Amino acid sequence: MNEDKYEISERIKQSVNFKRVNLLLDKFDKDYDLIICRNVVIYFDTEAKDKLYSKFYESLKPGGILFVGSTERIFNYKEIGFSSIAPFFLQKKKRSKEENLIMNRIKTMTMEWTGDSLILIDQRFLPLEEIYVECKTYQEVAKSIKDMVVRGAPAIGASAAFGYVLGAKQNQQYTEKKQIFFRK
């Protein structure tokens, strides 16, 4: 336009979607790069704010940014999973290359047996994050059950069965090493 005024291009305008939503009741879409929420949340109580910030976190793609107003500071941002990158700018944790490979391979599942280890979804972080724990020994499986990484009778039973298999494999390896040690 001129030096003092700017106009947004048609291409950008077409990629922006405006809609009216109830922030507390409506379901949000996923995989946003940026969410801007300014001068809204100051009217909500603490419980509603926590619920909304968790919904924002879930709606962002890994590495996505939440921009809030100066009166809407989020004090528990780390508990939600955000990191602070600048005043009023919070970022959803980016996945490591290893996490991306695992996520691409197993997508969303509760457990996978690899033959040498058991991969469990860490249910303590659901529904905010999908984090996986790899158990290579029966002790690690037992600890995952004890620490409530895995929950629910069917999942605990299946995990315990795989833990039993890992224990048998560990015992077999120990027995084979012991036989080699005592042979003449």
Read off the tokens for 57.
Answer: 């976190």
Residue 72 pLDDT: 81
Alpha carbon 95 to its chain centroid, in Å, reads 9
Q: How confident is the model at residue 138 (pLDDT cuts 50, 70, 90)?
A: very high
According to CATH, what is the number of the domain 97-182? 1.20.120.420
Cα R_g (the chain), whole angstroms: 24
Residue 184 pLDDT: 47
User: What global pTM score does this model have?
Assistant: 0.48
Q: Higher pLDDT residue, 171 or 122?
A: 122
Q: Could you confirm whether domain 14-92 is CATH 3.90.220.20?
A: no
Check whether 20 has a pLDDT greater than 50. Answer: yes
Average pLDDT, the chain: 82
Check whether 102 has a pLDDT greater than 70. Answer: no
pLDDT in tens, 45-80: 989 998 999 999 999 988 888 998 888 888 888 888
Residue 1 pLDDT: 59
Residue 175 pLDDT: 55
Check whether 178 has a pLDDT greater than 80. Answer: no
Tell me the β-bridge partners of 135.
118
Read off the tokens for 50.
Answer: 């926590």
Can you give the residue ranges of every domain in the chain?
A: 14-92, 97-182
- Lowest average pLDDT, out of 82-86, 106-110, 119-123, goes to 106-110
Crossing angle for the helix pair 153-182 and 138-146, to the nearest 10 degrees: 150
Read off the tokens for 56.
Answer: 């924002």
Q: Higher pLDDT residue, 105 or 84?
A: 84
pLDDT in tens, 142-177: 999 999 999 888 888 889 888 888 888 887 665 555
Q: For every residue of the chain, which 3-state class applies, written as one string?
A: CECCECCCCHHHHHHCCCCCCCCCCCCCCCCEEEEEECCCHHHCCHHHHHHHHHHHHHHEEEEEEEEECCCCCCCCHHHHCEEEEECCEEEECCCCHHHHHHHHHHCCCCEEECCCCEEEECCCCCCCCCCEEEECCHHHHHHHHHCCCCCCHHHHHHHHHHHHHHHHHHHHHHHHHHHHHHCC
